[in-house]
Amino acid sequence: MADITTTTPPGATSTSGTSGSAGGLVTEQGKTSIADSVVAKIAGIATREISGVHNMGSGAARTMGALKEKISSSKSTVSQGVNVEVGERQAAVDLDIVVEYGVPIVDLSKAVRDNVTQRIERMTGLEVTEVNVYVDDIFLEEEEKAPAPERVQ
């Protein structure tokens, strides 16, 4: 588990019996529930905001996403490579990323963790308990530029 310090987002207030950033989700007037898909989209966008993240998802997920994109002509989902667990007051995030070659992975992971935590906590009021970053691949520009050899001539 990552050691993450949380702060109360601007405008959030704690109710009696609760503390931290999630206090505004359960109030005397009612309860706010946030779907896993919402948190996953926020995490996906926040991850892609960090320079050095080339793509997201494991190899199989990226292949399926590219196939879906060709078939349906819609953009791939922003939550590809994101898995979240959302409770009433807390969220945990797992990210599969592809990093650009030459980028220090430890620094990149910290920047991703910080940005994802900050975005989720500010937008949802949930306390982010952990952000696990799995580096699935390294992107090399040469691999993208090299054309596939022709099989038949």
How many Cβ atoms from other residues are within 10 Å of residue 72's Cβ?
9
In this prediction the pTM is: 0.72
> Where is average pLDDT lowest: 39-48, 70-79, 126-135, 136-145?
70-79
Domain boundaries, the chain: 32-140
How far apart are alpha carbons 84 and 101 in whole angstroms? 27
69 versus 3: which is more confidently predicted? 69
Greatest CA separation found in the chain?
A: 75
What does the pLDDT average to over 116-136? 98
What does the pLDDT average to over 6-30? 54
CA distances to 40, 54, 58, 102, 138 from 51, rounded to whole Å, are 19, 8, 19, 12, 14
The distance in angstroms from the start CA to the end CA of the chain is 54
Q: Which CATH number fits domain 32-140: 3.30.70.330, 3.30.70.1350, 3.60.15.10, 3.40.50.2000?
A: 3.30.70.1350
Which tens digit of pLDDT belongs to each residue from 23-80? 678 889 999 999 999 999 999 999 999 999 999 997 665 555 555 555 554 444 799 9
Q: Which residue has the tokens 């220090």?
A: 104
Residue 24 confidence (pLDDT): 79
147 versus 43: which is more confidently predicted? 43
Residue 54 confidence (pLDDT): 96
138-142 LR contacts (CB < 8 Å, sep 24+): 138/98, 138/99, 138/100, 138/101, 139/54, 139/55, 139/98, 139/99, 139/100, 139/101, 140/101, 141/101
Element (H, E) at 62: helix 59-72
What does the pLDDT average to over 146-152? 66
Secondary structure class of 22 (helix, strand, coil): helix
Structure tokens at 126: 């949930």
Of the candidates 34, 75, 36, 80, the one whose C-alpha atom is nearest the C-alpha of residue 61 is 80
